[in-house]
Amino acid sequence: MPDSGHALVTGASSGIGAAIAREYARRGVPLVLTARRGERLDALAASLRAQVPVECIVADLADPAAPELLHAETVRRGLRIAHLVNNAGYGVPGRYLSSDWATHAGFLQVMVVAVAELTHRFLPAMEAAGHGRILNVASLAALVPATAGHTLYGAAKAFVIRFSESLAAETRARGVHVTALCPGMTWSEFHDVNGMRARVSKLPGWLWQDAERVARLGVDAVERGDPRCVTGGANRMLAALSKYLPEAAAQALIAGRSKDFRDTD
């Protein structure tokens, strides 16, 4: 990687975000790590500083002021962000009406608004430098038929994919690559946080990937300039089946297994 700028990774305290941070460190790219949990960030940073310089900024992207403050803090510290990884995310389990609007509003702030705003704030410097990379972590859930439960998750990730693909077309000629990373089932804390660990652990092993592989594939994809990266053959097969099967058949197939990976109560 010829550029000397930092990689800013949101949601870096665990899971795919931490794996992406480790992947960039392995490639010699200095890091700016951000998440809500400062102690987790500090522990990850301590493990990586033997490889690259690491800065930590504690921020909660559910706060509408956080993207602007995060950008301002990188400027204050004199950090040039050449790689932006919009990874922070989570799921809200259950039916749409089982959570209050404040819960959904916070979710949309993290999953949609913060992704768009951070990109808008960091992209101008990338274009001015003639080089930049933006990796937006989406999901296979955006590419298969929707199910009951976790109602806004697939919709938010579908936004991330379309946003990334449009932005990729706009910025490629200016030296900036944008990629939507679409992992499927990944071994991480995601399912512990949303209370689905026991249920999803019953899914067949061939559906799962480890976070380190997902991170490597994602960074490789954004370096190549691929607008979309679906990780793994099984996930690509599921995405293709959803696209080419008759719509009713694809919906029935996904709906029949939805209780294995969605809380619909």
Q: Is 90 helix (H, G, I), strand (E, B) or coil?
A: coil
Joined tokens for residue 114: 């913060």
Estimate to the nearest angstrom the gap between the alpha carbon of 1 and the chain centroid.
Answer: 21
Q: Contact 114/60 with Cβ under 8 angstroms?
A: no
Sheet containing 54-58: give its strands across. 54-58, 31-35, 6-10, 81-86, 132-137, 176-182, 228-230
Alpha helices in the chain (DSSP H): 15-26, 38-48, 66-76, 101-108, 114-129, 153-171, 190-193, 197-200, 211-224, 233-244, 247-257
CA 157 → CA 99, 126, 203, distances in Å? 19, 24, 22
**149 in the Ramachandran plot: left (φ > 0), alpha (ψ -120 to 50) or beta?**
left
Q: Which residues contact 163 (CB under 8 A, 6 or more apart)?
A: 115, 116, 119, 136, 180
Q: How many CB atoms lie within 10 A of CB 23?
A: 23
Q: Which residues are catalytic?
A: 153
